[in-house]
A and B are shown apart, each in its own frame.
Chain A
């Protein structure tokens, strides 16, 4: 079964750090470009960042609100995607989804999401 499972969400104070993970199974994770997308409570979807496959350079891109604070990485040996979040702000409170976010033919996969709450 094709699956993405996020974990590691929780409550963190403003200015704090948190790393969330996304475990992939059932598809060739190492070949896929992967994204993080977030959804603040009661709001719409917001793209956070993307990492290319190692064969395509493994480079990352980030949305303006998180650039310089968030870092995406991947461990293809563990089929796992990571999002390291530093200098967290209350406005980073959201459900964080990992996804293949495909724009081309293929199976577009989304995880169930993990909730990050930034509050004092």
Chain B
């Protein structure tokens, strides 16, 4: 089974400063169609998860452009260029090609210093 490992698990950030979250998978996430199925989700306190990024680097509609995703193969990164107060929450990466069909990282809790 594929295992998704995020780091750090806790991320205190000063408002206006950048933030970066790493996600590593134990197996390649490149599918036979050439696409890499790696999503990023945001879960604000008390809310349901919300998808931010799909296929490594594609932002969902309505997601601010300060969020960006990058990476390939087994190593991926979510970056926030300038953290705002509304970005507080837990961020999860998720793979969608290896068994188990969908596997999430442990989550990274972003807080404001």
**Contacts A97-B49, A105-B58: A47 and B107 contacting too (C-beta < 8 A)?**
no
Given the complex, which residues of B lie within 8 Å of A105, measured CB to CB?
54, 58
Partner of A63, one of B37, B54, B100, B105: B100
Which residues on A are within 8 Å of B, measured CB to CB? 35, 37, 44-47, 50, 61, 63-64, 97, 99, 101-105, 107-108, 110-113
Contact in complex: B96, A44 (CB < 8 Å): no
- For B48, what are the chain A residues with a Cβ–Cβ distance below 8 Å? 97, 110-113
Is the CB–CB distance between B60 and A45 below 8 Å? Answer: no
Q: Does B92 interact with chain A (Cβ within 8 Å)?
A: yes
User: 8 pairs across A/B with beta carbons < 8 Å?
Assistant: A45-B41, A45-B94, A47-B100, A64-B100, A103-B97, A105-B58, A108-B50, A110-B50
Asked if A44 meets B107 with Cβ closer than 8 Å, knowing A97-B48, A104-B54, the reply is yes
